[in-house]
Amino acid sequence: MENQTLEINDYLKIIKRRRKILILPFVVISTLSIVLAVLLPSKYRSVATILIEEQEIPSDLVHSTVTTFADQRIQVISQRIMSRSNLVDIIQKFDLYSNERKNKPEERILDKMRKSIVIEPISADVIDPRNGSPTKATIAFTLTFDDRSPLLAQKVANELTSLFLKENIKSRTESAENATLFLSEESRRLKEKIQQLQNTLATFKEKNLDQLPQISQLNQQELTTLSGQLISLDSQERSLRERQFYLEGELAQIDPNAMATNATGNRVFDMKDRLKVLESEYPSLVASYSANHPDVIKAKREIDSLRKQSGNNTGLNDMNAELTNKKAELASLLKLYSEKHPDVLKLQKQIATLHQAMMATKETNISSSSVLPDNPAYITLKAQLEGVGSELKSLDYTRDQVNKKMADLRKSLHQAPVVEKEYTDLIQELDNANIRYREVSAREMEAQISQQLEIQRKGERFTLIDPPQEPLEPISPNRPAILFLGLVFALACGFGFVYLAEMLGSTINNEKTIAAILGVAPLSSIPYLENKKESDATTRRHIALLVSVLVVFALSVIGFHFLVMPLDVFWYKLLRILGNF
């Protein structure tokens, strides 16, 4: 058989001869495919389309606190709505997978439901406004749910869509509220920090008022002014000292009692004249009275006192002469050295000591005299000298105050660099806090506006443009494909079995086989002649086959009508397809 060349008639004869082998697998496999297409459960899909709308107010005017991309938000929200608690609630609410829940763990049920939920973004080509380059942006997305019941598929898809829209509003509102709350808390914290820094700065200023940077320059100027004032005071003191020395010299040479009179109006002599008068009268008194006479004793006592005072006056004259010499020497030294020179300071100290001694001696002489000075020249010089002394005391007090002030200023200037660093650090920290506070306050205001944007639904939002519908046709199984593939496979199996039977069979069925075996063609061939009984049986088989074909065709039409597509719908689709041609 392998070397024979078969023609179409030969193939037809083989099919006719092996028709049982062809029909049996064809019928079995076709029946199985039909049963499979009929018994497989239908799965329906309900689809919702949600549009992602941009915010109504331009983002240049109002910035949203939600800055993530739409794909990200869709993924985040999908994870939230497909949480365990939400899915369990939906399963219980719609009594999903009631049979499977009896014998399967909850996790497998939840996994099956998650696989039944599909979220697919819908993208479009757009121009990026930031750089002008073309890109893809998610403008919408679909949410689908698959179930055996079309009504349940629609209800669950509708429930999931509602959860999705609510979760989007909730997440955006919470994001805006959290941003506002965080910025408000940060603003309050910065405000407290600024208040604390201001209090610290005020305390620091109060504690270091004289060492502040803005005061240091004034302190330096004041120190320079005080130095000049101190020089002026030294000059004034030098002039007053010279005048004091001059007045003291003049005063020492004037008799304080030049015109003095006693209570009786008699002229009072000075010490020398009085001493001469008493010395001339004393011998007469001694001659007239005894040594113990009161007049003699009184005259004797007065003579001794006048002699003593006369001696003191001589010492005063000597001191006055020495003082004059010292002043002349001081004038010479000042021409050679400054006032701070040790020799000048030493000589000034000697002059001051000598002057004090003269004044003490003079006061002693005046106090020992019972008559107050009444010489106008003396009194005038005395008053001028006392005025000079008062001015010197005032200068000394002023100098002490100036020196004290200069010491304080030098101390302040010495401490100024350290204080300035601390002060600058505080000012810088306060400035940074103020800048940060202004930034946070501005962001807080933007966050509040953004929060109002979300509350009033003016921001980016999800809009349901195509709500879930009850599906009319199942998405699976694909029964026409199952039937078609089943028939093709059944036919292939039938021909395959026929081919195997021919290849493995050893029966001679035609004259070509005999010629191939014997090498000589037979003279003639006699066909098989059926009797009446066999002919009737063949007729019955043909009728049964025809009836079977008609029954299978009728069942196929009925199954197509109920399982695949109603016949009227199929007819209209067929007419529409034919009308396109």
- Give dist(CA 374, CA 147) in Å, integer: 140
Percent of the chain with pLDDT over 70: 71
pLDDT at 424: 84
Listed in sequence order, the residues at least 6 apart from 534 whose beta carbon sits closer than 8 Å to its beta carbon are none
The answer on pLDDT for 398 being more than 80 is: yes
Listed in sequence order, the residues at least 6 apart from 566 whose beta carbon sits closer than 8 Å to its beta carbon are none
DSSP 407-433: HHHHHHHHHHHHHHHHHHHHHHHHHHH
pLDDT at 528: 62
The angle, 0 to 180 degrees and rounded to 10, between the axes of the packed helices 294-336 and 342-368 is 160
DSSP 254-306: S-TTTT-B-TTSPBPP-HHHHHHHHHHHHHHHHHHS-TT-HHHHHHHHHHHHH
pLDDT tens profile 404-429 = 888 887 777 777 777 778 888 888 88
pLDDT at 228: 86
pLDDT at 177: 83
Which of residues 277 and 433 earns the better pLDDT score? Answer: 433
What helix, strand, coil percent values describe the chain, rounded to 5? 70, 10, 20
pLDDT at 260: 46
Alpha-carbon Rg for the chain in angstroms: 69
Instruction: Quickly state the pLDDT bin for 445 (edges 50, 70, 90).
Output: confident
- Give dist(CA 490, CA 315) in Å, integer: 164
pLDDT at 280: 62
Q: Domain residues of the chain, as ranges?
A: 1-40+477-523, 44-188+441-466, 536-581
The answer on pLDDT for 309 being more than 50 is: yes
The answer on pLDDT for 369 being more than 50 is: no
pLDDT at 371: 47
How large is the average pLDDT for residues 32-44?
Answer: 80
CATH number of the domain at 44-188+441-466, out of 3.30.1890, 1.10.540, 3.40.50, 3.30.450? 3.30.1890
The answer on pLDDT for 48 being more than 90 is: yes
Instruction: Give yes or no for a contact between 482 and 33, defined as CB atoms under 8 angstroms apart.
Output: yes
Instruction: Give yes or no for a contact between 499 and 1, defined as CB atoms under 8 angstroms apart.
Output: no
pLDDT at 509: 63
Query: In the predicted model, what is the mean pLDDT of the chain?
Result: 76
pLDDT at 134: 75
Instruction: Give yes or no for a contact between 237 and 361, defined as CB atoms under 8 angstroms apart.
Output: no
How large is the average pLDDT for residues 316-326?
Answer: 66
How large is the average pLDDT for residues 9-21?
Answer: 72
pLDDT at 145: 93
Establish how many alpha carbons lie within 13 A of residue 138's alpha carbon, considering only the half-sphere containing its beta carbon.
20
pLDDT at 581: 55
pLDDT at 575: 78
pLDDT tens profile 113-137 = 999 999 998 887 767 666 667 777 7
Write down the H helix ranges in 459-478: none
pLDDT tens profile 236-258 = 888 888 887 777 777 766 766 65
Q: Please indicate, yes or no, whether the overall pTM of this predicted structure exceeds 0.75.
A: no
The answer on pLDDT for 308 being more than 70 is: no
Instruction: Quickly state the pLDDT bin for 47 (edges 50, 70, 90).
Output: very high
pLDDT at 159: 93
Instruction: Give yes or no for a contact between 211 and 493, defined as CB atoms under 8 angstroms apart.
Output: no
